[in-house]
């Protein structure tokens, strides 16, 4: 029952995106000065993280705004944030998947996340490349093995270049 | 003169046409009967991870029309023969615009070279100058030009707090540039005579050295000036030299760039197109340093160094990822300039360019918003030429007296920090842009 309620909340989350304050929306439009956590909270209020998750998940919002929201979520390392990011690594829009992978990789750091390993075989090269950058900092043997597997089949030249760097080749 | 008019005409045409905005790709440049377009050939040393210290040798003795060797007596250490500058000489300014190069050569911190005054002779016919300090050591030293003093003895820049500067001089890693006068608040101080400045190394215990040059720009005749444009592609979102001329997002953004700069009295030349080898699409740090982990992607400074050998002009690099600080969440930076100003007169340095995030081939407008790419391009080039944000969230403001500080007018300025539809320059922003010596009559 409780799980069902939480799931319903998660599914309803995109509807909240319309509640984004103008100040937060403006902040997410920064060109070259990324907002700090404090600035985000000041603009978005105490529910900023939830608002950002809703914004990132909303297919109705401009992709660029969703990308900015995904980046901003890197300031709010919470279980709900990681769950949202993992879910969005499977979004329909490659750009959203790429941004979700990048932020999830930032939060995971030198750790390991199954969603990131899965992103190594994403159909879109830009997502695979983001995944390589994201997992390369991890010393886990599983990461090395996954990179080796990808190296064996990767045909995209730019992605191979990054793979080669990650594998030290 | 007719050549200049032709360039202006072509740039104007760019606003309404597409294909004409581009120089032919290098592959087709030497087609029989076709015009020869010098092909930008950056050093395709993609594996290079040496912090940009190329053992290149700059021939300080080369003949440049208008070059003033102010080194003797003022500049301290000057090797009149060869100077290990760390960078290829690239394309030094040609004499057609009359820009003079005051070359102080190699200056070493060890022998107190940074503690002396550098003197720049300014003529009544000059309108400004750009100071360029390029570190030649791999250490992460920070340089800043400071104590910029007018012939009347008025100090326009002093110390590390740029807020106190009437002409801002920003510190930067490994290199530093300052545009005099960056600020028209200081315009009243402009006078011919001996201008002085100093170079400060933030790490005096490190044995660092730098080359110091000043580019003096004569006052140009009235009318539109021009600037060259080199576009470097990493393959991000499928964008290459071959696809660029018909890539809708890029074409639209370049139209915006050209129109915005024409508003400021600057015609942007048709761009030269250059493909970089694999390995440059992901910028994962600002500088090149050994973090103890495999370096995946490239640093911003190594990316910009790929402009080595390119014709003089603004260098724009299109990348897929733009992460500058590993401590901050990735993905929030749409573009970044090499500096404020960047190194515009020497290609191949760690600040000789502007990086633009291009990770989406198509822009699908939702809720009526416009593609911000053209604004981002223009905004970052504005930084590269010397403009600051008109305001910052922390209350900092630019140094110009006619830029709006807040409200809708500020948001409508191209140098607002947010992509909120900015489309305007102030008159003094235009003056500052045109003062950079890379912008030529």
Q: E strand or H helix at A153, and its extent?
A: helix A141-153
Which site among A20, A29, A32 would you substitute to test the B interface, given the most B Cβ atoms closer than 10 Å to its Cβ?
A32
Coil vs helix vs strand at B194: strand
Could B372 and A64 be called an inter-chain contact, meaning their C-beta atoms sit closer than 8 Å? yes
Render pLDDT for B151-189 as a digit per residue (tens, 0 to 9). Answer: 999 999 888 888 788 888 888 888 888 998 877 767 778
Chain B, nearest residue to A106 by Cα: B329
Q: Has residue A163 got a pLDDT over 90?
A: yes
Could B359 and A95 be called an inter-chain contact, meaning their C-beta atoms sit closer than 8 Å? yes
CA–CA min distance A70, chain B (Å) = 8
Virtual torsion, Cα B414, B190, B128, B174, nearest 10 deg? -80
A34 contacts in chain B (CB < 8 Å): 328-329, 332-333
Rounded alpha-carbon distances, angstroms, from residue B194 to B39, B101, B124, B148, B262 = 40, 15, 11, 11, 34
CA–CA min distance B388, chain A (Å) = 12
Please check whether residue B286 is in contact with residue B299, taking contact to mean a CB–CB distance below 8 angstroms: yes
Q: Using CA atoms, how far apart are residues B284 and B234, in angstroms rounded to an integer? A: 14
Looking at residues A76-91, what average pLDDT do you find?
97
Render pLDDT for B331-354 as a digit per residue (tens, 0 to 9). Answer: 999 999 999 999 999 999 999 999
Window 2-61 of A: residues touching B by CB (8 A cutoff) are 26-27, 29-35, 39, 60-61
CA–CA min distance A94, chain B (Å) = 9
CA–CA min distance B95, chain A (Å) = 35
Bridge partners for B318 per DSSP: B233, B356
What is the location of CATH 1.25.10 in chain A? 89-169
Q: Using CA atoms, how far apart are residues A20 and A45, in angstroms rounded to an integer? A: 10
Phi/psi at B440 (5° precision): -120, 150
Give residues with Cβ within 8 angstroms of B233, minimum separation 6.
Answer: B239, B240, B241, B244, B273, B274, B275, B276, B318
Chain A, nearest residue to B371 by Cα: A64
Please check whether residue B83 is in contact with residue B114, taking contact to mean a CB–CB distance below 8 angstroms: no
Render pLDDT for B375-387 as a digit per residue (tens, 0 to 9). Answer: 999 999 999 999 9
Looking at residues A97-124, what average pLDDT do you find?
96
Q: Using CA atoms, how far apart are residues B383 and B325, in angstroms rounded to an integer? A: 19
Contacts 24+ apart (CB under 8 A), B7-12: B7/B226, B7/B267, B7/B269, B8/B224, B8/B226, B8/B267, B10/B269, B10/B270, B11/B226, B11/B258, B11/B262, B11/B267, B11/B268, B11/B269, B11/B270, B12/B262, B12/B267
- Provide the 10 A C-beta neighbour count for residue B220: 17
Chain B, nearest residue to A58 by Cα: B366
Looking at residues B79-106, what average pLDDT do you find?
53
What architecture does CATH give domain A89-169? Alpha Horseshoe (1.25)
Rounded alpha-carbon distances, angstroms, from residue A70 to A42, A51, A57 = 18, 11, 9
Could A34 and B323 be called an inter-chain contact, meaning their C-beta atoms sit closer than 8 Å? no
Q: How confident is the model at residue B362 (pLDDT cuts 50, 70, 90)?
A: confident
Q: Using CA atoms, how far apart are residues A40 and A49, in angstroms rounded to an integer? A: 9
CA–CA min distance A152, chain B (Å) = 18
What pLDDT shows up at residue B34? 29
To the question of pTM greater than 0.80 for the whole model, the response is yes
- Provide the 10 A C-beta neighbour count for residue B278: 17
What pLDDT shows up at residue B20? 38
Least confident of A11-15, A161-165, B60-64: B60-64
Could B332 and A68 be called an inter-chain contact, meaning their C-beta atoms sit closer than 8 Å? yes
Please check whether residue B323 is in contact with residue A34, taking contact to mean a CB–CB distance below 8 angstroms: no
**What is the DSSP secondary structure assignment for residue B221, as one 8-state letter?**
P
Q: Using CA atoms, how far apart are residues B213 and B151, in angstroms rounded to an integer? A: 19
Chain B, nearest residue to A69 by Cα: B332
Say whether residue A74 is in contact with chain B using an 8 A CB cutoff: yes
């Amino acid at each position: 029952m409780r799980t069902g309620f939480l799931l319903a909340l998660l599914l309803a989350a995109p509807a909240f995106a319309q509640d984004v304050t103008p100040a937060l929306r403006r902040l997410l439009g920064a060109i070259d000065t990324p907002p700090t956590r404090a600035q985000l909270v000041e603009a978005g209020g105490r529910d900023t993280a939830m608002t950002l998750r809703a914004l990132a998940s909303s297919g109705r919002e401009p992709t660029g705004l969703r990308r900015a929201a995904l980046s901003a979520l890197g300031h709010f390392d919470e279980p709900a944030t990681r769950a949202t990011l993992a879910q969005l690594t499977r979004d329909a829009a490659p750009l959203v998947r790429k941004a979700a992978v990048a932020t999830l990789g930032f939060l995971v750091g030198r750790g390991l996340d199954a969603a990131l390993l899965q992103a190594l075989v994403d159909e879109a090269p830009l997502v695979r490349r983001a995944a390589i950058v994201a997992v390369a900092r991890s010393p886990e043997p599983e990461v090395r093995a996954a990179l080796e597997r990808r190296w064996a089949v990767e045909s995209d030249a730019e992605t191979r270049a990054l793979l080669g760097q990650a594998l030290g080749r | 003169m007719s050549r200049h008019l032709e360039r202006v005409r072509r740039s104007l045409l760019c606003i309404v046409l597409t294909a004409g905005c581009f120089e032919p790709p290098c592959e087709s440049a030497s087609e029989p009967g076709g015009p020869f377009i010098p092909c930008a050939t950056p050093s395709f040393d993609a594996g290079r991870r040496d912090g940009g210290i190329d053992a290149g040798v700059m021939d300080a003795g080369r003949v440049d029309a208008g070059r003033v060797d102010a080194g003797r007596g003022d500049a301290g250490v000057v090797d009149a023969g060869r100077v290990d500058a760390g960078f290829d000489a690239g394309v030094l300014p040609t004499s057609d615009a009359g820009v003079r190069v005051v070359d102080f050569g190699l200056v070493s911190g060890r022998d107190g070279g940074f503690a002396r005054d550098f003197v720049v002779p300014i003529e009544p016919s000059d309108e400004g100058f750009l100071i360029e300090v390029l570190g030649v050591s791999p250490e992460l030293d920070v340089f800043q030009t400071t104590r910029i003093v007018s012939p009347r003895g008025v100090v326009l820049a002093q110390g590390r707090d740029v807020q106190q500067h009437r002409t801002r001089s920003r510190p930067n890693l490994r290199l530093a540039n300052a545009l005099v006068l960056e600020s028209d608040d200081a315009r009243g101080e402009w006078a011919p005579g001996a201008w002085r400045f100093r170079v400060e190394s933030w790490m005096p215990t490190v044995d660092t050295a730098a080359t110091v040059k000043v580019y003096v720009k004569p006052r140009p005749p009235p009318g539109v000036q021009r600037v060259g444009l080199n576009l470097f592609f990493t393959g991000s979102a499928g964008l290459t030299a071959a696809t660029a001329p018909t890539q809708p997002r890029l074409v639209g953004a370049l139209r915006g760039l050209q129109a915005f700069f024409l508003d400021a009295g600057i015609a942007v030349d048709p761009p030269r197109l250059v493909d970089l080898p694999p390995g440059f699409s992901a910028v994962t740090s600002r500088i090149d340093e050994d973090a103890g982990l495999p370096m995946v992607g490239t640093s911003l400074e190594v990316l910009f160094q790929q402009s080595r050998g390119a014709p003089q002009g603004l260098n724009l690099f299109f990348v897929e990822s733009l992460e500058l600080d590993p401590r901050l969440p990735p993905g929030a930076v749409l573009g970044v300039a090499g500096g404020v100003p960047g190194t515009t007169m020497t290609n191949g340095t760690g600040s000789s360019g502007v990086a633009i995030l291009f990770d989406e081939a198509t822009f699908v407008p939702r809720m009526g918003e416009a593609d911000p790419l053209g604004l981002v391009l223009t905004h970052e080039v504005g930084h590269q030429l010397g403009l600051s944000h008109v305001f910052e969230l922390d209350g900092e403001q630019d140094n110009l007296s006619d830029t709006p500080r807040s409200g809708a007018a500020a948001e409508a300025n191209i140098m607002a920090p947010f992509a909120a539809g900015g489309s305007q320059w102030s008159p003094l922003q235009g003056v500052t842009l045109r003062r950079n010596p890379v912008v030529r009559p």
